[in-house]
Amino acid sequence: MCFDTVEDGEKFYTSYARVAGFGVRKSTTKYRKGTEELIKRDMVCAKEGFKNTDVDKQIRIRNTGHTRVGCKARIQFWKTEDGKWIVHDFFEGHVHVLSTPRKTHLLRSHREVTGTQKQNEMREYDAQMFINSFKEKAEMNHSFYFAYEVDEDNRLTHCFWADGGARKAYGHFGDVVVFDTTYETNQYSLIFAPFTGVNHHFQSISLGCGILKDERTESFVWLFTKWQDAMGRCAPKAIITDEDPAMAAAIARMLPETCHRFCIWHIMKKLPEKVGALSCRSNFLMSFKKCIFGSETPEEFEEAWKQIITQFSLNSNEWLSKCYRNREKWISAFLNHIFMAGMRSTQRGESQNAFFDRFLNKKDSLVEFAHHLQRALERQRYNELVADHESLYKTLDLVTPLSIEMQMSKRYTKAVFHIFQEEVQASLKYGSKSFGPPEVHVVKRLGEISRTHEVIHDPSNEKLLCTCKKFESEGIPCAHMLVVLRNDFIDELPEYLILQRWTMTAKDKCVFDFDGVELRESQSTHLGERNIELVRAFANCLNNAPSEVYDKAKEFVYSLQKEKESLSACGSNDPTTWNTMSIPSSIDVRPPNISKTKGSGKRLKGGMELAMEEKEKQRRTCSMCGKKEKHNKRSCPMLKEM
């Protein structure tokens, strides 16, 4: 048997071994004297030889088993004078059981790596195919928007995209937005920056997505600019983020009329580290939380804060001083007059990122990243569809005989109605006393010493205000308002107190882009309508048609089906495609460089967190040296001394 190259011989023997059911590896080689020309190559069974038993058992790290059993199966290739390679020696016999076809791929020499190899080969086309996929979507559906930016080397740096579903959702629910970045979602370590909103079922929804190479102010400015271009230059009423200074600077520049709120959860999380052992004192925590969460007016907060600083001698704490300077950006008492959809933190954005993490992987290419993200969005929108169905077709149970509860069970969605229902129940425990004009009601919980609230009711001017500001901040009437309406013999909730975004008809209105064209959720909707039109035309053509026409139509449909199947089969094996996408003939957008961001690598832990981990960590006894240290017998320092 003769081969042109030694590689051809190796491939032949490897293929033979795969069919026979054994693994192979390269063994001895021989070179011509005085040169580096290879003239002999041996290949042996993977089970050839025996394991080295000279290693001291005392320092053996782990018992993983061994594969060498002294098998003699081998092949030897020699190079002839004319440059060909021949089989000089071949021994077929084995001393072990051969693997079955189902298990052959588990042998080291036969493990499939073609997918990874192709992915590495396609890496240079990754960014171009990523952008080309967006171009195709934009051509198929005018509602799809995308923008990208490259550096001087034509490497992708930033990208933003929003399909018709996200742009329509912003038209319905874009009043409050949570913006939070996340990391390790792709192999380039690009920062994933989704915009998140809340729909009328209190579900998180996507309002556009972006990827950035860094977290500089200029990068965020570019992203917010493209996001606003996609959303018709209509800024949200409020946006919630963490305390990132670059992000805050970009929002101040691009969204000057939008209320920017800092995430209260991130701030409170830092409290134990910043105040030290004081956070373990229950009286301090109780007072601090009451000041932050219980204050309803700025004056009430100022008084409580001053008392805490004085009582616990915290005048010199720089972090608390900084929090106080920024109080208008995170304290509810300063923000409860602005609609926030019941949100005070980026927790909804964090949960959205956790949801995306179920679909994304840090090893994903850009093409895979976009594909997996689309699957996540489809799942998210399916969940919204299920919630729409349940709200529309399920009758909710009532807990009171009040007409106002019956009325809103038919207007609010299921999730919102449950919150309103709790307020209705709570209103039964309150009483009110009125003064006027204008009509001012003092509302207080019956039989308890509790806070009083003032409610101003002026029906002629469609005015109903409460000092708790729940309606202004959440859009749902509070129990204090419901008490006043009931005492004024108003059985149904007035229209000016029903926020459209919380009702079952919140998505009924059409949403248009900046050019006045109606936005469509996806191209599939348009294709469905087109298919229906085609089916109707086909049915009309065959209606009362002679049998000859019917036979021709049937034959035509069958031929189309066969052509579709053949194209699909060819596409799956076509070397000019990858992930069902065509490989571009030219590259205008090159893959991005791997980003180094604050989210890459391990998270930096605070001193208190490290101390707590050290305290909680249980030290085991090393069986090698007998000491209770941070090692075991595999990593024991005594191994180095042996």
Answer whether residue 510 shows pLDDT above 60.
yes
Helices (H), 453-573: 470-474, 479-487, 523-542, 547-573
pLDDT in tens, 85-98: 999 999 999 999 99
Answer whether residue 567 shows pLDDT above 70.
no
Share of the chain above pLDDT 90, in %: 55
261 compared with 598, residue with greater pLDDT: 261
Q: Which band of pLDDT confidence, cut at 50, 70 and 90, is reported for residue 358?
A: confident
Q: Which band of pLDDT confidence, cut at 50, 70 and 90, is reported for residue 612?
A: low
pLDDT of residue 354: 85
Q: Which band of pLDDT confidence, cut at 50, 70 and 90, is reported for residue 608?
A: low
Across 456-470, average pLDDT: 91
Mean pLDDT score across all residues of the chain: 86
pLDDT of residue 52: 75
pLDDT of residue 617: 58
pLDDT of residue 575: 45
pLDDT of residue 111: 78
Give domain 116-262+339-394+522-528+580-591's CATH superfamily. Answer: Ribonuclease H-like superfamily/Ribonuclease H (3.30.420.10)
Across 191-207, average pLDDT: 94
Span of 65-79, 342-356, 464-478 with lowest mean pLDDT: 342-356
- Compute the distance between CA of residue 164 and CA of residue 519 in angstroms, rounded to an integer: 6
pLDDT in tens, 201-256: 999 999 999 999 999 999 999 999 999 999 999 999 999 999 999 999 999 999 99
pLDDT in tens, 446-461: 887 778 999 999 888 8
Answer whether residue 473 shows pLDDT above 90.
yes
Contacts of 418-427 with C-beta under 8 Å, sequence gap 24+, read: 419/476, 420/476, 420/477, 423/476, 423/477, 423/478, 423/479, 423/482, 424/399, 424/400, 424/479, 424/482, 425/399, 425/400, 426/479, 427/479, 427/480, 427/482, 427/483, 427/486
pLDDT of residue 606: 58
pLDDT in tens, 408-436: 999 999 999 999 999 999 999 999 888 76
Residue 21: CB partners within 8 Å, gap ≥ 6?
A: 98, 99, 100, 101, 104
Number of residues written out for the chain: 642
* Cβ burial, residue 346 (10 Å; 0-12/13-18/19+): buried
Share of the chain above pLDDT 70, in %: 87
Contacts of 447-450 with C-beta under 8 Å, sequence gap 24+, read: none
Answer whether residue 601 shows pLDDT above 70.
no
pLDDT of residue 571: 45
Question: Scanning the structure block, which residue is given the tokens 């019917």?
Answer: 550
Q: Which band of pLDDT confidence, cut at 50, 70 and 90, is reported for residue 573?
A: very low
| The pairing of beta strand 238-241 with beta strand 176-179 | parallel
Residue 181 per-residue DSSP state:
-
Retrieve residue 309's tokens. Answer: 């600083």
